[in-house]
Amino acid sequence: MPDPVQGHSQVPFLLSLSVSAGSEILSVYGEDFSAETKSDGSPVTVADERAEAVILAGLAEAFPSVPVVAEEAVEAGKLPAVGERYFLVDPLDGTKEFVSRNGEFTVNIALVDQGVPVFGVVYAPVLGDIYWGGRLPADLAAGDASGEGAFKAKVVDGEIVDAAPITVRKAPSEGLSVLASRSHLSPETAAFIERFKVAECVSFGSSLKLCVVAEGRADLYPRLAPTMQWDIAAGDAVLRAAGGQVLEAQSWQPRAYRVPAGATKSDLLNPHFVALSDTALLAEAGIVPEPA
C-alpha cells in the first residue's frame, strides 16, 4: 500500500502546516495566558491568532488561487468572496478546552468544493493525534492521487509517524456509543439521544468527536445546537472518507457548505446536524430522510 502521508505532494504540506500551527498553540499552552471574549460570547486567546497566522501564510503560498475563510479573520470582518471552492480554517477548535487545559482541542483545515468537504485535516496537539481524509482535486494535488481514504497517525517531535487507515464500525448490538459536546450539550441534543439504544454516552471536546466516529470508537454524534462551518468541515471530510456521514437534522441529507455572496459571519452557521457511522441508524429513531 502506498504511504498515505505521501499520497499527494500537497497532502504532506497540509499535514505539516497543521502541525506547525499546533506548535504555536503549544508554545502558548505551556505558559500563563488570558482569554478574551468575542462578539458571540466564545473565548479567544493569542494561541488562536498565532495558529491562524501560520495557516493563512502557508495556504496563501501553496494555494494562492483558493480563498480562505478563517475564524479569527472573519471575526475581524475579513470574509472574502468565495466561489464553489474555498478553505475553511479553525486554528483552534475547542478554545474552552484549551483554556481549561484538558487537551481536547484541535487545528482544523478543510477544503470545500461545490458544497462538499473533499479534504480535511484535524490535529490534536496535546494528544499527538492527527487525522486526515478525502482527496484533493487534481488541479490542486500537484502529484499522485493515491492515498484516498481516511487516516490517523501520531505526531512525535514534529514528525508524522505510524499512519494507518481508519474506518467507521458496525454499530454494536448491545447499544450505541454516543458522543456529546463537553461544553455544549443542549436539551434538544439530550432528547434526541434518548431515541436510541445507548450503551454509553461519552463527552468529548472540539472536532475530535467526528474523528472518534470516523475511527470506529463511537457511532453517533448529534449536535442540535449552534456551530460554525469551520468547526466541523475538516472532521466531516475525515468522517465521509471513513464511510460515515454528517446529515442536516431536518432534511437528513449530507451537510452542504456554502458562503453566499455578501455573506457575514451569521451566514456561516451550521444547521443542526447528526454525525453517524451508518445512516441506517436513523431508522432506530423513526427518522425517514427526505428524498435527495
- Residue ranges of the annotated binding site are 71, 90, 92-95, 231
The pLDDT, as a whole number, for residue 7 is 45
Residues 161, 197 within the same domain: no
Q: Please write down the long-range contacts of 183-187, taking CB distance under 8 Å and 24 or more positions apart.
A: 183/94, 183/96, 183/97, 184/223, 184/225, 185/225, 186/224, 186/225
- The tens digit of pLDDT for each residue in 29-59 reads 877 676 676 667 676 788 889 999 999 999 9
Instruction: Mark which of 165, 195, 224 sits at the end of a domain.
Output: 165
Range of the domain at 36: 4-165
Which residues, other chains included, contact 185 with Cβ-Cβ below 8 Å and sequence gap of 6+?
203, 225
pLDDT at res. 34: 64
Question: What pLDDT does residue 220 have?
Answer: 97
| Residue of 84, 151, 153, 155 whose CA lies nearest to 126 | 155
Q: How far apart are alpha carbons 137 and 250 in whole angstroms?
A: 30
Which residue positions in the chain have pLDDT lower than 50?
1-2, 6-8, 146
Whether 139 and 89 share a structural domain: yes
Which pLDDT belongs to residue 35? 66
Question: Which residue bears the cell 468527536?
Answer: 209
- The pLDDT value given to residue 259: 96
Binding residues for Mg(2+), by number, are 71, 90, 92-93, 231
Whether residue 157 is found in the same domain as residue 182 = no
Question: For residue 257, what is the domain's CATH number?
Answer: 3.40.190.80
Tally of residues, the chain? 292
* pLDDT given at position 70: 97
Q: Residue 49, exposed/middle/buried by CB under 10 A (0-12, 13-18, 19+)? A: middle
Under a CB-based contact definition with an 8 Å cutoff, are residues 248 and 108 in contact? no
Summarize the annotated binding site for substrate as residue ranges.
71, 92-95, 231
Cα–Cα distance measured from residue 173 to residue 71, given in angstroms and rounded to the nearest whole number: 40
CA distance 105 to 124: 6
Q: What is the pLDDT of residues 73-95, one digit of tens each?
A: 999 999 999 999 999 999 999 87
pLDDT recorded at residue 2: 42
* Beta-strand pair 106-113/85-93: antiparallel
pLDDT at position 41: 62
Report if residue 170 sits inside a domain: no
Specify the pairing of strand 198-204 against strand 176-181: parallel
The distance of Cα 271 from the centroid of its chain, to the nearest Å, equals: 15
CATH code of the domain covering residue 58 = 3.30.540.10
Per-residue pLDDT, 146: 47
Q: Do 161 and 195 lie in a common domain?
A: no
- 37 and 92 assigned to the same domain: yes
Q: What's the CA gap between 134 and 119, in Å, rounded?
A: 4
